[in-house]
Structure 1
Amino acid sequence: MIDWSRLFGFSVNPAEIILRGTVIYWFIFLLFRLVLRRDVGAIAIADVMLLVLIADAASNGMSGDYDSITDGCLLIATLAGWNYLLDLLSFHFLAIRRLVQPPPLALIENGKMLRKAMRKELITTEELKSRLREQGIEDLSEVKIAHLEEDGEISVLRHDGRELEKSSGKSKSKKTI
């Protein structure tokens, strides 16, 4: 016989679940934001983190590490709530946006590599040149400015005014005005 109250009731104090979810969310968010700033790719760090945390929370809830489904659902709702709140606040408030999304970082200006910025993001000369070659640039002198964007991609504006952007692994150029 199924024990419905054990299955759908709380086995842990709901406030404890919310507090645990909140502390873990912020710990991992700050860790990703400060240590792994741009290594994730085209998906925002908070989104990747949310997926990982939800998968783990859902797994615990489904496998019975919690004593009820409701415990897992509350934890998932707490994590999703923080993610939504950060997105909402970053849309409305510049200070929050600066915390959540790193600004573009110039890596090359007028054909010269900015070594301090490269060191800050642990980007080697070989890695930067490789990423430029992927966009059809063989000589640094062609580059007016190259930025490391918040999603880990490198955007390049050439001296001839063409902006190169990565699309499905192939370079695509567009004229800027």
Structure 2
Amino acid sequence: MFVLDAPLAETVVRGAVVYLALLFMPRAAGQRESGGLGLTDVLIVVLVAQAVSGGLGGGSRSVTDGLVLVATILVCSLAVDAAAYRFPRFAAVVKARPRPLIRDGRLNRPLMRREFMSTEEVLSRLRLHGVHDPAQVHLAYLEPNGMISVLRRGGEETDTPVRPPAE
């Protein structure tokens, strides 16, 4: 149960390669689908769950293999975060940034196309901030977590988005 099934170096390299591959793949999907969690948060949860599943379920991988893989994934995550903090050019590649969705009341149609956002969806998200017309918006950003932040004309920030009532 605690004996490694695979060589330690192979397990570490596999964990690092999978982490890095999955770090870059979601960037192609865009920001708006990630919801409240950041893409790297979702990535960590999925990878850790997969890494320990064999050891928990008694599959072909040992508990030790799973723990080595989890440690590798967490070290990779910390290394990417540290490198992004220290090197802005690297951060631009691996970290999503807020992107302007509305500027002075004008919708950013190319961004909307890239994120597959219809005008109706943008208007719906604005209403959650208490804004009924894009002309009221000085700046609105699509944030890395998929949320929209809104500054009205005159520089005032809008209310925090209201959650719909539970049914």
Q: Give TM-score, length-normalised by structure 1.
A: 0.85
| Structure 2 Cα separation of the partners of residues 17 and 121 of structure 1 | 36
Residue type at the aligned position of 1:123: M
Secondary structure of the 1:106 match is strand
**Per the alignment, do residues 49 and 83 of structure 1 end up closer, same or farther by CA in structure 2, a change over 3 Å counting?**
same
Structure 1 vs Structure 2 CA RMSD: 1.7
State how 1:53-64 maps to structure 2 within 5 Å.
53-64=47-58
| Residue of structure 1 equivalent to 2:152 | 158
Answering whether residue 94 of structure 2 is matched by residue 127 of structure 1, we say: no
| Structure 2 Cα separation of the partners of residues 134 and 118 of structure 1 | 18
- More RCO (CA 8 Å, sep 6+): 2
| Structure 2 Cα separation of the partners of residues 139 and 66 of structure 1 | 57
For this pair of structures, how many residues does the alignment match? 164
Secondary structure of the 2:158 match is strand
| Residue of structure 2 equivalent to 1:148 | 142
Name structure 1 gaps, 5 residues minimum. 1-6, 171-177
| Residue of structure 2 equivalent to 1:90 | 84
Task: State the percentage of identical aligned residues.
Answer: 35
Aligned-pair CA distance for 1:157:
0.9
Aligned-pair CA distance for 1:168:
6.3
| Residue of structure 1 equivalent to 2:108 | 114
Q: By percentage of residues, which structure has more strand?
A: 1
**Per the alignment, do residues 133 and 67 of structure 1 end up closer, same or farther by CA in structure 2, a change over 3 Å counting?**
closer
| Structure 1 Cα separation of the partners of residues 101 and 51 of structure 2 | 39
Q: Give TM-score, length-normalised by structure 2.
A: 0.90
| Residue of structure 2 equivalent to 1:50 | 44
Mapped contact 1:66–1:72 kept (Cα < 8 A) = no
| Residue of structure 2 equivalent to 1:3 | none
Secondary structure of the 1:157 match is strand
